[in-house]
Amino acid sequence: DTEVTQTPKHLVMGMTNKKSLKCEQHMGHRAMYWYKQKAKKPPELMFVYSYEKLSINESVPSRFSPECPNSSLLNLHLHALQPEDSALYLCASSQKWSSGGYEQYFGPGTRLTVT
């Protein structure tokens, strides 16, 4: 089973709202990722968690706050977003975060619209 699940599928939020995106995998993977994808563009890495610790923050604005409560779950907390933050937010996981190039498996994404 190479499934990564994400909820919600769609989210519309105002600029003053607080919301959270959720991601879950049960493959025993120890690395989890958040990507942002704008229309007609490739995914852009935002955050990497390795063994539940934040390993990479790609200079993401603080209005995006990641959290990894355990090895299977990854959250992205959203607060005071801007309309330009509207995008598809993808979660991915891989066996490890280390040399060797481990396969990353993506979830279906959350389509976020900020009004």
Q: Given the rule CB under 8 A, which residues bind other proteins? A: 4, 6, 31, 40-43, 45, 48, 55-56, 90, 92, 94, 96-109
Q: How far is the CB of 56 from other proteins (least distance, A)?
A: 7
The smaller minimum CB distance to other proteins, of residues 75 and 108, is found at 108
Instruction: Report the distance separating Cα 109 and Cα 22, nearest Å.
Output: 10
Q: How far is the CB of 108 from other proteins (least distance, A)?
A: 5
The smaller minimum CB distance to other proteins, of residues 94 and 114, is found at 94
Instruction: Report the distance separating Cα 109 and Cα 102, nearest Å.
Output: 20
Q: How far is the CB of 48 from other proteins (least distance, A)?
A: 7
